[in-house]
């Protein structure tokens, strides 16, 4: 016996896909979103680039500058350690600015083996504390002066003003290891300590300081920490500079980098303009992938030069 099933109901395709359209009154309809014009996209691109530059300046000063100082410290430490082992570390005379000359340790501030470089311009102090070139090296007879930043690039001398009398400061140079004891902390208007006796040594640490959160960008003064050498000093080779230019003095800026800054700014403007045009006529994601690395490289160059126009102790 054959069973014949009833054919299924045939539903028209149009009926199954029927949609309900609700027509709103004209007063309730949302206006169509206008397509951005090239002019509006260019203005948006300029605003975005300006915001990126401002954010980068803050990030570089607060975070990235510390990484740059950390890298320079490691390179300088390896160089100086090799020179100390080979007995070729600089002892005096004319020393190339930026060359490592000593290792500085302050146990009370938990600072150990900070590399001190020659020179005290803003560019020299990017790598760490700097030795003022018209003073003898630490351990030698006379007053040795070392500058250090208070906030940017790791802020190695951020808390030197909190040192107390008797705190130890250790320095290692090509002539040996020397220990100093703090005798005074001075600020503007304070009396100078007693002059150094002939044949004795003194170390003066110099940095900026402030009384509030604004001290990071607007320090209110300079602090000096004087420490006398505990032990016998060593002779200083002749040939040290008799004076240093204004750019190497406390709280000074280095205007010699203005030409470099102009060239970097010109390159940054060219790359940013190309970035905006590419964003408008090429595509958003393509521009981000290709343009952002070039833009960041230019920003790094601009900020690393522009920071040298800030006071060297900040």
180 domain-assigned: yes
Domain count, the chain: 2
Residues 259 and 238 in one domain: no
Q: What is the CATH number of the domain that holds 208?
A: 2.40.260.10
C-alpha distances (whole Å) from 70 to each of 2, 57, 73, 264 are 91, 19, 5, 24
Could you tell me if 125 and 222 lie in one domain?
yes
Considering the domain boundaries, does residue 6 fall inside one? no
Q: 263 and 142 in one domain?
A: no
Whether the predicted pLDDT of 253 surpasses 70: yes
Cβ contact 118:90 at 8 Å: yes
Same domain, residue pair 116 and 194: yes
Q: Are residues 225 and 300 in the same domain?
A: no
Scan for tokens 């102009």, then name that residue.
Answer: 262
- Cα Rg for the chain, rounded, in angstroms? 32
- Listed in sequence order, the residues at least 6 apart from 291 whose beta carbon sits closer than 8 Å to its beta carbon are 271, 274, 275, 278, 279
Q: Please tell me whether residues 163 and 265 are part of one structural domain.
A: no
What pLDDT score was predicted for residue 112? 95
- Alpha carbons 146 and 160: distance in angstroms, whole number: 12
| 18 lies in some domain | no
Residue 102 in tokens: 């000593």
85 lies in which domain range?
A: 66-245
Let me know whether 189 and 301 are in one domain.
no
pLDDT-based confidence at 5, cuts 50/70/90? low
Say yes or no: 289 and 233 in one domain: no
Listed residues 192, 212, 245: the one ending a domain: 245
The Cα 120–Cα 244 span in angstroms is 9
Q: What is the C-alpha separation between 120 and 254, in angstroms, rounded?
A: 10
Among residues 106, 269, 282, 92, the alpha carbon closest in space to that of 181 is found at: 106
Is residue 144 situated within a structural domain? yes
With bands split at pLDDT 50, 70 and 90, how would you rate the model's confidence at 220?
A: confident
Same domain as 260, residue 169: no
pTM score of the predicted model:
0.80
Q: What's the rounded Cα separation, in Å, for the pair 230 and 196?
A: 13
**What tens digit of pLDDT does each residue of 142-152 get?**
999 999 999 88
């Amino acid at each position: 016996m054959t069973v014949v099933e009833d054919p299924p109901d045939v539903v028209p395709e149009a009926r199954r896909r029927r949609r309900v359209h609700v027509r709103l009154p004209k007063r309730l309809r949302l206006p169509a979103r206008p397509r951005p014009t090239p002019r509006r996209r260019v203005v948006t691109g300029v605003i975005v680039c300006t915001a990126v530059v401002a954010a980068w300046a803050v990030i570089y000063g607060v975070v990235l500058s510390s990484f740059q100082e950390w890298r320079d410290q490691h390179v300088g430490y390896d160089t100086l350690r090799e020179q100390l082992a080979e007995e070729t570390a600089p002892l005096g005379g004319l020393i190339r600015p930026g060359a490592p000359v000593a290792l500085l340790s302050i146990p009370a501030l938990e600072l150990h083996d900070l590399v001190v470089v020659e020179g005290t311009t803003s560019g020299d102090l990017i790598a760490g504390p700097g030795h003022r070139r018209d003073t003898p090296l630490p351990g030698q007879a006379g007053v040795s002066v070392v500058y250090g930043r208070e906030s940017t690039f790791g802020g190695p001398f951020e808390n030197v003003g909190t040192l107390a009398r008797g705190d130890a400061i250790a320095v290692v140079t090509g002539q040996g290891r020397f220990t100093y004891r703090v005798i005074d902390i001075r600020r503007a208007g304070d009396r100078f300590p007693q002059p150094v006796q002939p044949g004795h040594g003194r170390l003066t640490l110099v940095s900026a300081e402030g009384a509030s959160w604004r001290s990071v960008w607007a320090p209110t003064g300079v602090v000096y920490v004087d420490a006398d050498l505990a032990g016998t000093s060593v002779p200083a080779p002749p040939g040290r500079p008799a004076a240093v230019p204004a750019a190497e003095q406390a709280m000074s800026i280095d205007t010699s980098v203005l030409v470099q800054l102009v060239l970097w700014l010109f390159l940054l403007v060219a790359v940013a303009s190309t970035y905006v045009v590419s964003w408008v006529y090429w595509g958003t994601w393509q521009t981000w992938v290709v343009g952002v690395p070039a833009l960041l490289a230019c920003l790094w160059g601009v900020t690393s030069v522009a920071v040298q126009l800030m006071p060297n102790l900040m």
